[in-house]
Amino acid sequence: MFRDDLLKGKRYLVTGGGTGLGRVMSERLLELGAEVAICGRRRQVLEDAAAEMSEKTGGRVTAHQVDIRVAEAVDEMVGEIWQGGPLDGLLNNAAGNFISRTEDLSPRGFDAIANIVLHGTFYVTSACGRRWIAEGRPGNVLSILTTWVWTGSPFVVPSAMSKSGVKAMTQSLAVEWGPKNIRLNAIAPGPFPTEGAWKRLRPQGSSEVRSDMTHRIPLRRVGKMSELSNLAVFLLSDESGYITGEVVNIDGGQWLVSAGGFADLWALDDAQWHSIRDTIKAANEQ
């Protein structure tokens, strides 16, 4: 779908790039010629991922251990990466989440999520943005949200609140930093099953929930990783150069199902629809 050299000469940082969606997107950037720095909390996981991705794609990957909740550590890491050359783009992918009744959450439980998603994402964005501005270079930030940013979501309130904050950052900085040629966009994925997310969000068992949930998705399936990673590539590449401040949903239409409240009518068969039509017509004629 893209030229093999689309991202040749480009350098990107992917937070949480050692596992899950972050790893899939990192690998796609590498396949298209980019150089990628991945960061995360677990050194061994990162180093293994970097070695495997480099072997598979022939691309250059560096691994950086950091906890994005610690602003000074983030700035130090970004400074280190910059010594090897400036970054062209940042992919804010690192996140944390678990399901819990909100009344059961301790303040520390709330902070565990908000410190990663809201604060950590800001720290990395700010560390890159300040450098782009100081050097007069263009920049590109892509953040991974969820479709909860439009609707909120019960039982994952710290994530819904924090991801909505990252959406506000995306839109605010798209305007503030637009004249400096720094773009910010976001992707709001629906269900793209990864081991890490499913363990925390579908702990009751992944396979039966997965088939159960597809009936609430208009396109009747979960997302394919390639669909997500190709969208990320497009938004991180210069080919999307006139797009900024945008949040692109990629969810098979799932979040729209709650709109209007008629989604359950899917269950009706032809006979039931004919009967409904007759009933409404009769009501109109009265």
Residues in touch with ligand HXC (CB under 6 A):
95-98, 100, 105-106, 108-109, 112-113, 146, 159, 191, 196-197, 200-201
Residue closer to ligand HXC, measured from CB, 92 or 125: 92
Residue closer to ligand HXC, measured from CB, 17 or 191: 191
Using CA atoms, how far apart are residues 87 and 85, in angstroms rounded to an integer?
7
CB of 192 to ligand HXC, least distance (A): 7
Residue closer to ligand HXC, measured from CB, 126 or 153: 153
Residue closer to ligand HXC, measured from CB, 94 or 174: 94
Sheet architecture: strand order including 11-15? 61-65, 35-40, 11-15, 89-92, 139-144, 182-189, 247-250
HSE-up (13 A, CA, CB side) for residue 147: 16
Using CA atoms, how far apart are residues 102 and 99, in angstroms rounded to an integer?
9
Using CA atoms, how far apart are residues 94 and 268, in angstroms rounded to an integer?
41
Phi, psi of 177 (to 5 degrees): -100, 0
H-helix or E-strand spanning residue 143: strand 139-144
Residue closer to ligand HXC, measured from CB, 139 or 223: 223
Residues in the chain: 286
CB of 203 to ligand HXC, least distance (A): 9
CB of 39 to ligand HXC, least distance (A): 13
Please state, as a whole number, how many other Cβ atoms lie within 10 Å of the Cβ of residue 10: 19
Q: Which residue is nearest to ligand HXC (CB)?
A: 96
Using CA atoms, how far apart are residues 127 and 74, in angstroms rounded to an integer?
7
CB of 136 to ligand HXC, least distance (A): 34
CB of 97 to ligand HXC, least distance (A): 4
